[in-house]
Every structure is written in structure tokens, then in C-alpha cells.
Amino acid sequence: MQNMETLGSVSTLQSRRIILFPLPFQGHINPMLQLANILHTRGFKITIIHAEYNSPNPSNYPHLTFKPIKDHLSKVAHEYPTNRDGTYFVRYLNKSCVDTFTDCLAGLLAEPGEERVACVITDACFYVTQAVADDMKLPRIVLRTSSLGCNLAYEALPFYSKTGSFYLTKQVDRFEVLVPEYPLLKFKDIAKITINPQGMGDLATNMLNQMKASSGIIWNTFKELEESDLETLSRDFPVPSFTLGPFHKYFPASSSSLIEQDRTILSWLDKQPPKSVVYASFGSVAQINESEFQEVAHGLANIGLPFLWVVRPGMVVGSEWLESLPENFLERMGDRGRIVKWSPQQEVLDHPATGCFWTHNGWNSTLESICEGVPMICSPCLGDQPINARYVSDVWKIGVFLEDGFERVGIEMAIKRVMMGKEGGEMRKRISCFKEKKVASAAYLVATTRGVLGLGDLVLQPWVNLSLAEGGSSCRSLNNLVDYISSF
Ligand code: UDP
């Protein structure tokens, strides 16, 4: 946070307040808090309204103000471990938080002596907040924490129609067929997005409509990565769009983790040869069953490489933690493999020993892997993950899709392709190209906002390269966003 303060102290103070409202899940909280830090460095005062569920720790953010609101989630929280309909909780939260959010926002607007509120920035999934903001005549900007591609796919897919429901049924013989409405995807990808097409249709329609009704959309992506989708998007979403990602590269890894990160693995990684470790993690929500869990274990054991595996408590359906591991697995693996409950992921991906990332392709994880130049093995589970995985394997060609799910022979083959084959080397080259492009975006902000760095200093930053001189796309987008908010 010291870095943040330095940045803040040299920026032009806007003396305006912005109110942020994240969706209370790890993959949504992280980018919203990162955005809060970015805007704080540009002189805005930040207040975060947040649900009590998965509450962020305010002591990690002394420069921000936090206002908890009742979310009534305790009434349904017991369903969480077994209900695999991801849309259910998001739709529930939209109903259960609307009154408490409205009251809290009205209270903040009425506070005497505070800086004038410029706008509210809410997670796109909190679609009910558009009407609340409209009533209060307050501009609402949306933070969309997924990719542009995911949004276009959600728009194109016919979740409501008979065909949509058909896609989601287990028509195994058609699984390999491309979906006509979004031919990057196969039928089997669609079947993974949700188990509840009607619920997904409701969520997607409300979210997309209220994004279009908003005053603007902030994306945690960068122009060079999704250039062609950006063109389509500006046609379909005719409100200002700001692509200022990747957010996590603006500052050193920060602490919005809801689970304690096991940092002991960093010294274990230090002992491993360069690019030798398979890092496996499936994020904060995805679940697998016992037999899939065992296949993962066998796959990691059989490949013979060092591995770091994040097994979040509750990740294996019906298990507390590691009960379903094959017999004597940990003893047999010895120091070759480490299993932890939660890792400092950004640092793991940035570590020279990390050779590939076996991921569920949540958007944050995908972006983090791209930023650190780590090729992926894709095992998407739900929501936007199958869409992100297709982009990784079929568009950007920086990963291998585990097409047949969790099965030990397929797992071994995929790891070999990425870690040992010529194909893996080519993926690595491609992904480093992205890494360089990304650098042009984020690094520019840090350097220019500090205002104290000369060219000599910049050279010391390994991720700063010549493209910095051209001015990064994300930096320009952030400047535009700051100007836009200041104009309200
Ligand atoms: N993460 C972490 N430690 C872990 C696994 C994940 O810090 O062991 C972080 C990861 O860096 C990312 C977030 O949790 O920022 C997960 O977000 P993502 O969108 O990838 O997936 P989700 O959890 O929403 O499915």
C-alpha cells in the first residue's frame, strides 16, 4: 500500500467521491478493489458499499471507506455448497440487497460536508442498481469483471428459446458441433455455462440491458488482447467503454483474498528448476466430484513433474478437504508435490519456476496467466469459463483445452503438450507477445502517475519496454475515464 500512497500524493486531487459496489464473490471483489485503488491514485475519494457476506477486510485498505449493508444471504447460504446453479445467488442478491443498497446510497448522498458524489460504479451483475441510480439522478458506471468475448457470447446465445434449452441438455451426439449463434463455442461448452437456462437467460438479459442503460462500462481487459471484439462491442453497447486492464498489474499483488494465502510455497517454488512446476487451481467457486478429484491426483502423479495444487476446502463435492485423495498420495509424492488451501496466485504465476497453469479459466486467472506469460491447460467448469477457455485455446492459442474433462490419460497428454512439446514452446512465444503488449498499457500509468521516473528508472522495471514510449492503450483509457467522471 505504500506504493499507492506515493502514487496518490503526486496525482491531481479531484476532490470528488465515487461509490463502488462489488458483487460479494472473490472473482468480483478482487477487480473492484483493484479499481478502487487505481481511482484513488487519481485523486478520487472512494467509498465501498459491500454485502456482509464475504466482507473485505477494511484494515487492508485504510485509504478507502467501507459501508457494510445487510444482504440477507444467510437465509440461503446453507444451499451454497450443493446448489450448482450459479445464477441463483446473483439473482437472489439483486433482490435481497436492493433496499439496503438504496438506503445506504441515499444516506451517503445526504452526508453533510462530504465531497460531492460524482457517480456510482457497480458490478454489472448488480443490474438492479441502474434503476436506483436513475431515481437518485446519479450516473452509474458498470464494472464488468469478465472479458469482452464473454459478453458478446452471452448476447448471442439463445438461453430462453427452445433451442437454448436444447443446447443445455445432454445431447451427447451433438457435443462436438459448433454453436451457430457463436461458432467459437461447441454445444458441450454451452452445456457447461449453466444448469439453469431460464435463470441464465434472466441474468444475462437483465445484466446486458442495464449495461446498455448505464453511463459507461469499465472492462478489466486491454485493447490489444480483444481488439476485434472491441469493435463489435462498441456497435452493440453504444455507451462509453473503458478498457483499462489488467488491473492487477497497476500495483504489487495486494490482499483482497477472502481465504488466507499459504505463502510457505514461495520458498518451495524457489527450490524448483525454471519453468518446471505445474500449477493447478480452479478458483473460488468451481467444484469437482470425488472421481474427478482422483483423476487430477493420478494425472499429477503420473506426469512426474513438480506440482503445486490448490484444493480449496469445499472444492470436492461431499468432502471437507483431502479425504478423497488416492491412498498414500501425499507420502508417495513427498517433496515433489505441494497441496495448499489457497495460494498467493499472482506471485506463483510470476515465479520463474512456474511452467504452466492448469486453470478453470475464471477471467481473473486467465488474465493473470496471460500477464505473466504462463501457458494454460483449460478445465472450465461453469459461467464464463468455457468461453474464456475457447479464446485461450482456439483464438489466442496459448493453452490446451482438456476436452474430455478430468481423466488421467488426457491430463497427462495435455500437460506434456504444454510443458515438453514444441507446441508448448510456440504457446510460450505467443503468450510472451501478449505480455509485452500488456506492458504498454499498465506500466505507463505507474510511471506517468508517479511523475518522478526518468527513462533510466523505467529500464530497471523488467516489464517496461519500448512500446511504453507510444503511450499505452489502457493508460489512455484510464485518462479518458478520469476526465469522464470529472465531467459529471
Ligand atoms: N486466487 C488466489 N489464490 C488461489 C486461487 C485464486 O489468490 O489459490 C485469486 C486469483 O488470483 C484470482 C481470483 O482468486 O484473482 C479468482 O478469480 P477468477 O476470476 O479467476 O475465478 P473465480 O474464483 O471467480 O471462479
**Pocket lining: 310 vs ligand 1, CB cutoff 6 Å:** yes
pLDDT of residue 407: 95
Please give the number of the atom of ligand 1 that sits closest to the Cα of 361: 20
C-alpha–C-alpha distance, residues 100 and 106, integer Å: 10
**Pocket lining: 345 vs ligand 1, CB cutoff 6 Å:** yes
Q: What separation in Å is there between the alpha carbon of 37 and the centre of ligand 1?
A: 18
Please give the number of the atom of ligand 1 that sits closest to the Cα of 342: 8
Q: What separation in Å is there between the alpha carbon of 258 and the centre of ligand 1?
A: 10
**Mutate which of 269, 365, 372, 379 for ligand 1 pocket (most atoms within 8 A of beta carbon):** 365
pLDDT of residue 102: 98
**Pocket lining: 284 vs ligand 1, CB cutoff 6 Å:** yes
Question: How does pLDDT run across 393-440, given as a tens digit for each residue?
Answer: 999 999 999 998 999 999 999 999 999 989 999 999 888 877 665 555
User: C-alpha distances in angstroms, 398 versus 171, 221, 300, 368?
Assistant: 29, 17, 21, 13
* Percent of the chain topping pLDDT 90: 68
pLDDT of residue 86: 83
**Mutate which of 84, 249, 279, 345 for ligand 1 pocket (most atoms within 8 A of beta carbon):** 345
Name the DSSP letter for residue 288.
B
**64-74 in b/e burial notation, b at 16+ Cβ within 10 A?**
bbebbbbbbbe
**Mutate which of 23, 25, 26 for ligand 1 pocket (most atoms within 8 A of beta carbon):** 26
Burial class (CB in 10 A: 0-12, 13-18, 19+), 9: exposed
**Pocket lining: 254 vs ligand 1, CB cutoff 6 Å:** no
pLDDT of residue 68: 98
Structural domains of the chain, with CATH: 4-254+470-486 (3.40.50.2000), 265-435 (3.40.50.2000)
**Pocket lining: 364 vs ligand 1, CB cutoff 6 Å:** yes
Please give the number of the atom of ligand 1 that sits closest to the Cα of 343: 8
pLDDT of residue 2: 31
Q: What separation in Å is there between the alpha carbon of 359 and the centre of ligand 1?
A: 10
**Pocket lining: 389 vs ligand 1, CB cutoff 6 Å:** no
Residue 174 CB contacts under 8 Å (≥ 6 apart), including other chains: 187
Q: What is the pLDDT along the chain (488 residues), one digit of tens a residue?
A: 333 333 333 344 457 999 999 999 999 999 999 999 999 999 999 999 999 999 999 999 999 999 999 999 877 877 765 677 889 999 999 999 999 999 999 999 999 887 899 999 999 999 999 999 999 999 999 999 999 999 999 999 877 666 555 555 556 667 888 888 899 999 888 888 988 888 899 999 999 999 999 999 999 998 888 888 999 999 999 999 999 988 988 887 767 889 999 999 999 999 999 999 999 999 999 999 999 999 999 999 999 999 999 999 999 999 999 999 999 999 999 999 999 999 999 999 999 999 999 999 999 999 999 988 899 999 999 999 999 999 999 999 999 999 989 999 999 999 999 999 899 999 998 888 776 655 555 444 444 433 333 333 322 223 323 323 357 888 889 999 999 999 99
Q: What separation in Å is there between the alpha carbon of 439 and the centre of ligand 1?
A: 21
C-alpha–C-alpha distance, residues 281 and 377, integer Å: 11
C-alpha–C-alpha distance, residues 215 and 481, integer Å: 11
